[in-house]
Amino acid sequence: MHTGSPPRVVSLAPSATAILDAAGLASRVVGVTAHCFLDRPLVGGWLNPELDRLDAVDPDIVCTCDPLQADVAAAVRDHGYEVNHVEPATLDEVFDTFARVCAAAGDADAGARLADDCRQHLARVEDALADCDAPEVYCEEWADPPMAAGNWVPDVVRAAGGSYSLVDAGERSREVTGDEVAAADPDHVVLHPCGKGERGDPDAFEARGWNLDAAVHAVDDSLLNQPSPALVGGVDHLVRLFHPDADLPTPWKPSAETESDGAI
């Protein structure tokens, strides 16, 4: 540990990077992966960090996230570094990780304040939708094979005033058939293929011939796939698709000063 100064954090997870930035702690991040947005020394990829690059930035602690990074977390620990590893599965669990991730940077209270701010915003969204019906929604995390999004995505859809029946919150995403999706009778289809940004393809979806009577939307995958404050942006985006006439609160932005100016 570097004494007399805040902890030096390497974030191997874009979600941890976004949490620390939104909490105003980005200055404590000294290394990131190629998938993170902060301008910091790169230490490799999400699943294949380079330990010599990690050594070069000399962190006090390393942040990882998701069961897919469990082996990465173990390798970094074996290399001699303290690791802060989280595996949220629901939206509430995502918010609960904010204090744990920010504790790695020496300020758990900043994470707790961030979580409270996010929850308060979603409460205002809920109040605005009190008299609205909930349209059925199908969120697709991957196209080949088609995967219905799980984890926190059902919670995000419900926070945005939608109904989601194909996967329960907290369950992993699962493969689905066109018949299953048709039986759910969605009013909205949300395409957010993992790692594709905004490049979901509504035309390719329509070409499957599933014959759904649904509006099809391509949404930036980070707004639904990243377990960070970005999910609040996902709620704000989806609620305007599902309920364009509702009297909604102003979209959420972090109250802390951020390097990304709130663009997370």
CA distances to 4, 135, 178, 237, 241 from 244, in Å: 51, 12, 28, 10, 6
Instruction: State residue 3's pLDDT score.
Output: 62
Can you tell me the mean pLDDT for 55-61? Answer: 96
Instruction: State residue 1's pLDDT score.
Output: 57
| Confidence category of residue 21, pLDDT binned at 50, 70, 90 | very high
Ordered structural domains, the chain, with CATH: 9-124 (3.40.50.1980), 137-242 (3.40.50.1980)
Percent of the chain with pLDDT over 90: 89
Reply yes or no on whether the pLDDT at 60 is more than 70: yes
**pLDDT tens digit string along 239-248?**
999 999 999 9
User: Mean pLDDT score of the chain, rounded to an integer?
Assistant: 94
| Confidence category of residue 257, pLDDT binned at 50, 70, 90 | confident
| Confidence category of residue 262, pLDDT binned at 50, 70, 90 | very low
Can you tell me the mean pLDDT for 58-81? Answer: 96
- Cα separation, 199 vs 203, in Å, equals 11
Q: What is the DSSP string of 111-146?
A: HHHHHHHHHHHHHHHHHHTTT----BEEEEEEETTE
The tokens of 191 are what?
Answer: 């395409």
Percent of the chain with pLDDT over 70: 95
Instruction: State residue 200's pLDDT score.
Output: 79
Q: How far apart are the first and last CA of the chain?
A: 29
**pLDDT tens digit string along 140-161?**
999 999 999 999 999 999 999 9
**pLDDT tens digit string along 32-48?**
998 899 999 999 999 99
Can you tell me the mean pLDDT for 170-175? Answer: 97
- Length of the chain as a residue count: 264
- Cα separation, 120 vs 212, in Å, equals 35
| Confidence category of residue 263, pLDDT binned at 50, 70, 90 | very low
- Cα separation, 205 vs 182, in Å, equals 13
- 19 neighbors 63 (Cβ within 8 angstroms): no
Degrees, nearest 5: CA angle 117-123-126: 145
- 14 neighbors 37 (Cβ within 8 angstroms): yes
Instruction: State residue 198's pLDDT score.
Output: 56
Reply yes or no on whether the pLDDT at 132 is more than 80: yes
Beta strands in the chain (DSSP E): 9-11, 29-32, 61-65, 82-86, 137-143, 146-148, 174-175, 188-191, 215-218
Reply yes or no on whether the pLDDT at 173 is more than 80: yes
pTM for the structure as a whole: 0.93
Instruction: State residue 2's pLDDT score.
Output: 61
**pLDDT tens digit string along 174-220?**
999 999 999 999 999 999 998 765 567 899 999 999 989 999 999 99
Instruction: State residue 264's pLDDT score.
Output: 37
